[in-house]
């Protein structure tokens, strides 16, 4: 359907209406962008995510301290101008650690979603397009994976691989493969019966071309939405795993691990646990509302 | 209906088989001697302990016989022994399971009450400030980390106000904060779903008819719209229970609440493999069972559903 719409719009653009200043946006991308821009909440999400990326890139420039160096003379300092978010039990500046933590959280989100989306798409595309025994077996494996409550699957994988930041990314990524595989399979199943795919097959286009040129680009929009929301949930799961000591190990400035460390000092030094938690919440919120906005923009019927 | 239940039960068999297979291979897939893996970080086992473990795992048998032994042991309730406590894994799990079930049930109640009420209000007053506030809180609800919310609630209600215990298990007071934390987060998803489902129901012809009959608006909303909106909500509950079960793993750790979640975290930290294996098996089987039950309830409340 998307492709039909796209083709129609391309035809329109080439037709009567002149392109240029003041012309109504015509391409699919422009329409989506316009819808997204008119959604204030989604724009807020975009601003949060954009700011976060900038903070992560410029962390070494922005931070005034070293994220891991201990300064016992600065232990447990409450928030002040010198240390806006205070310092922890090792005298490390919490704001600095949060800035560096943004790099870790973004990496976790991207790597976990990358693993899930790539593996899931390959499985889903193969299963959906070719069907047969691969479809049957992969669907049964996915059924079994879905029989484990989300975090439990990641925990089981970490139990096997051992606790570390890299393993958390792998575990969270593998844990979300079923969702992407199911979605991609469904997309391919419906797209492969479209006329333009049958037309491509009829003129003898090779399978590779049909899959990557005709099917994949049209299956992408729901995947983009899922990936945006997936970054949010991956960051949350990974932080939870680090919180229980299964992820990033000290002194890595990972937000979940920082929060876990702050628990001990909750009674007096509340800032150690509070600010990393806020950082997680704001980041996840940003990706969530951006994802919701993308969904509405790509498929206006899904609203309400 | 009976046919539906039968088909659904049969379709669960390969899943249960797959789950047991996955748990069985969990230890055997790791490179290295499964005996060493089962002993994890424990002090070096004596040759006698190693021999006992080798026998327990049936490692001298061919792989398919090992699996049969694993299943028949599990069916007899023998999941091996925990290294930390030396007690049978089954016993360890069964002692704590009621606490986790209590927590899951209490948080489900919190989630259902908050989620459906918010969702119904948001749908009834669509576009109003009530709608906006509830939907913004729902997005917040899926973004806030549960372990952080838990700590903040402890900070407020236990440390500052002193109303509730900081951690522990036993009385209803110990249950309040963990159940509220878990339930509140879960209610966010339910609220969004209830709203969407209610909006669809409220635009139905039967609602227009009910209104045309001059019924009171709240009666139309509750009796006519909500009843029909409940069907997708019930399905969602099955998934929610899975979320609550795995959420309980983290939340129990935050509140030092002695359920299988706290047990699992301890087992993971000490790499107590027999215990990890047992917990993963039990929790996933419970989850499969719950989803089966939800599907059956679903068919019972919606006569349109059948396997035909």
* CB within 8 Å of B250: residues ≥ 6 apart: A151, A240, A243, A244, B146, B147, B261
CB contact under 8 A, A277 and B287: no
What pLDDT, on a 0 to 100 scale, did the predictor assign at position A86? 86
- Tokens 């900081």 correspond to what residue? B166
Contact residues, chain A, for B264 at CB < 8 Å: 155
Model pTM?
A: 0.85
Interface test with A, best of B38, B134, B145, B270 (most A CBs within 10 A): B145
Determine contact, residues A105/A165, Cβ cutoff 8 Å: no
What pLDDT, on a 0 to 100 scale, did the predictor assign at position B207? 80
Q: What residues in chain A have per-residue pLDDT under 70?
A: 1-26, 300-304
Distance of alpha carbon A37 from alpha carbon A44, whole angstroms: 10
What pLDDT, on a 0 to 100 scale, did the predictor assign at position A302? 53
> Hey, is the C-beta of A174 within 8 angstroms of any chain B C-beta?
no
Which residue among B16, B43, B76 closes a domain?
A: B76
CB contact under 8 A, B143 and A155: no
**What are the pLDDT digits (tens) for B166-221?**
788 878 888 889 999 999 888 888 888 888 888 887 788 888 888 888 778 787 78
Residue B169: cis peptide before it, omega within 30 degrees of 0: no
Are B68 and B135 in the same domain?
A: no
Are B265 and B219 in the same domain?
A: yes
Taking all residues of chain B, what is their mean pLDDT, rounded to a whole number? 84
- Rounded to a whole number, what is the distance in Å from the CA of B306 to chain A's nearest CA? 20
What pLDDT, on a 0 to 100 scale, did the predictor assign at position A48? 95
Cα dist from A35 to A29, A234, A245, B131, whole Å: 10, 27, 42, 21
Q: From the CB of residue A212, how many other CB atoms can be counted at a distance below 10 Å? A: 12
Which residue from B14, B273, B284 is facing A140, i.e. has the nearest CB? B14
* CB within 8 Å of A139: residues ≥ 6 apart: A127, A185
Which residue among B48, B76, B104 closes a domain?
A: B76
Distance of alpha carbon B258 from alpha carbon B169, whole angstroms: 6
Residue B145 lies in a domain: yes
What pLDDT, on a 0 to 100 scale, did the predictor assign at position A280? 94
Interface size between A and B, measured as CB pairs under 8 A = 139
> Hey, is the C-beta of A151 within 8 angstroms of any chain B C-beta?
yes
Q: Which two tokens stand for residue B54?
A: 């080798």
Are B70 and B109 in the same domain?
A: no
Q: From the CB of residue A33, how many other CB atoms can be counted at a distance below 10 Å? A: 13
Distance of alpha carbon B300 from alpha carbon B290, whole angstroms: 15
Are B15 and B115 in the same domain?
A: no
Contact residues, chain B, for A163 at CB < 8 Å: 268
Interface test with B, best of A49, A148, A258 (most B CBs within 10 A): A148
ipTM of the complex: 0.83
Distance of alpha carbon A31 from alpha carbon A297, whole angstroms: 8
Which residue among B76, B104, B131 closes a domain?
A: B76
What pLDDT, on a 0 to 100 scale, did the predictor assign at position B186? 86
Residue B286 lies in a domain: no
Minimal-distance CA residue of chain B relative to A267? B159
CB contact under 8 A, A155 and B280: yes
What pLDDT, on a 0 to 100 scale, did the predictor assign at position B135? 85
B168: left (phi over 0), alpha (psi -120 to 50) or beta: left
Domain, as residue range, for B51: 1-76
Contact residues, chain B, for A52 at CB < 8 Å: none
Residue B250 lies in a domain: yes
CB contact under 8 A, A147 and B288: yes
- Rounded to a whole number, what is the distance in Å from the CA of B64 to chain A's nearest CA? 19
Closest listed residue to residue A153, CA positions, set A122, A181, A120, A178: A178
For chain B, the domain total comes to 2
What pLDDT, on a 0 to 100 scale, did the predictor assign at position B305? 63
Closest listed residue to residue B70, CA positions, set B58, B60, B86: B58
Distance of alpha carbon B136 from alpha carbon A296, whole angstroms: 16
Helix (H, G, I), strand (E, B) or coil at A75: coil
Are B6 and B131 in the same domain?
A: no
Are B132 and B186 in the same domain?
A: yes
**DSSP character at residue A17:** S
Tell me chain B's radius of gyration from C-alpha atoms.
24
- With a pLDDT cut of 90, the percent of chain B lying above it is 16
What pLDDT, on a 0 to 100 scale, did the predictor assign at position A25? 53
CB contact under 8 A, A267 and B250: no
Distance of alpha carbon B121 from alpha carbon B129, whole angstroms: 11
Interval B266-292 mean pLDDT? 87
Are B168 and B261 in the same domain?
A: yes
Determine contact, residues B189/B142, Cβ cutoff 8 Å: yes
Residue B306 lies in a domain: no
Residue B26 lies in a domain: yes
What pLDDT, on a 0 to 100 scale, did the predictor assign at position A9? 38
Distance of alpha carbon A197 from alpha carbon A259, whole angstroms: 51
**What are the pLDDT digits (tens) for B25-79?**
887 777 667 777 777 656 677 788 888 877 777 777 888 888 888 888 888 888 8
**What are the pLDDT digits (tens) for B114-162?**
998 998 889 888 888 888 888 888 888 889 999 999 999 998 998 888 8
Q: At B247, which CATH number?
A: 1.10.3720.10
The whole-angstrom distance between residue A247's C-alpha and the CA centroid of its chain comes to 18
């Amino acid at each position: 359907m998307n492709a039909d719409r796209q083709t129609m719009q391309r035809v329109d653009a080439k037709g009567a209406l002149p392109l240029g200043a003041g012309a109504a946006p015509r391409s699919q991308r422009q329409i989506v962008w316009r819808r997204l821009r008119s959604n204030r909440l989604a724009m807020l999400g975009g601003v949060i995510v954009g700011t976060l990326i900038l903070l992560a890139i410029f962390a070494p420039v922005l931070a005034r301290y070293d994220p891991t160096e201990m300064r016992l003379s600065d232990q447990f300092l409450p928030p002040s101008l010198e240390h806006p978010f205070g310092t922890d039990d090792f005298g490390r500046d919490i704001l600095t650690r949060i800035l560096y933590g943004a790099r870790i959280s973004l990496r976790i989100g991207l790597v976990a979603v990358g693993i899930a989306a790539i593996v899931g798409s390959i499985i889903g595309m193969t299963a959906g397009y070719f069907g047969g025994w691969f479809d049957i077996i992969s669907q049964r494996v996915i059924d079994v994976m879905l029989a484990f409550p989300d975090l439990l699957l990641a925990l089981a994988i970490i139990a096997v691989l051992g606790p570390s930041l890299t393993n958390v990314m792998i575990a969270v990524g593998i844990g979300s493969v079923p969702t992407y595989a199911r979605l991609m399979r469904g997309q391919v199943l419906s797209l492969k019966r479209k006329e333009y795919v049958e037309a491509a097959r009829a003129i003898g286009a090779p399978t590779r071309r049909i899959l990557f040129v005709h099917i994949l680009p049209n299956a992408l929009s729901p995947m983009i939405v899922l990936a945006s929301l997936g970054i949010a949930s991956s960051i949350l799961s990974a932080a939870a795993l680090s919180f229980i000591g299964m992820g990033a190990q000290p002194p890595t400035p990972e937000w979940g691990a920082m929060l876990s460390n702050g628990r001990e000092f909750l009674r007096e030094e509340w800032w150690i646990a509070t600010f990393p938690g806020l950082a997680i919440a704001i980041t996840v919120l940003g990706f969530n509302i951006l994802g919701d906005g993308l969904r509405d923009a790509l498929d206006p019927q899904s609203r309400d | 209906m009976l046919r539906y239940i039968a088909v659904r039960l049969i379709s669960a068999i390969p899943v249960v088989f797959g789950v047991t297979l996955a748990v069985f291979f969990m230890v055997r897939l790791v490179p290295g001697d499964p005996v060493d893996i089962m002993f994890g970080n424990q002090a070096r086992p004596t040759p006698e302990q190693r021999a006992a473990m080798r026998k327990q795992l049936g490692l001298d048998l061919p792989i398919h016989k090992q699996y049969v032994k694993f299943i028949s042991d599990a069916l007899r309730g023998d999941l091996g022994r925990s290294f930390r406590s030396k007690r049978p894994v089954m016993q360890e799990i069964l002692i704590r399971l009621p606490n986790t079930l209590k927590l899951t049930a209490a948080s489900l109640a919190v989630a259902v009450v908050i989620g459906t009420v918010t969702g119904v209000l948001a749908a009834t007053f669509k576009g109003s400030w009530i709608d906006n506030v509830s939907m913004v809180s729902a997005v917040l609800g899926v973004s806030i980390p549960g372990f952080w919310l838990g700590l903040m609630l402890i900070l407020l209600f236990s440390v500052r106000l002193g109303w509730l215990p900081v951690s522990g298990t036993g009385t209803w007071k110990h249950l309040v904060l963990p159940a509220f934390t878990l339930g509140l987060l879960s209610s966010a998803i339910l609220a969004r779903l209830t709203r969407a489902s209610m909006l669809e129901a409220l635009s139905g012809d039967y609602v227009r008819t009910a209104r045309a009959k001059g019924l009171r608006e709240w009666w139309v909303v509750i009796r006519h719209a909500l009843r029909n909106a409940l069907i997708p909500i019930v399905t969602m509950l099955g998934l929610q229970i899975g979320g609550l079960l795995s959420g309980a793993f983290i939340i129990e750790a935050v509140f030092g609440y002695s359920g299988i979640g706290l047990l699992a975290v301890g087992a993971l930290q000490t790499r107590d493999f027999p215990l990890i294996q047992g917990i993963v098996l039990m929790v996933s089987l419970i989850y499969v069972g719950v989803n089966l039950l939800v599907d059956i309830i679903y068919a019972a409340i919606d006569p349109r559903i059948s396997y035909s």
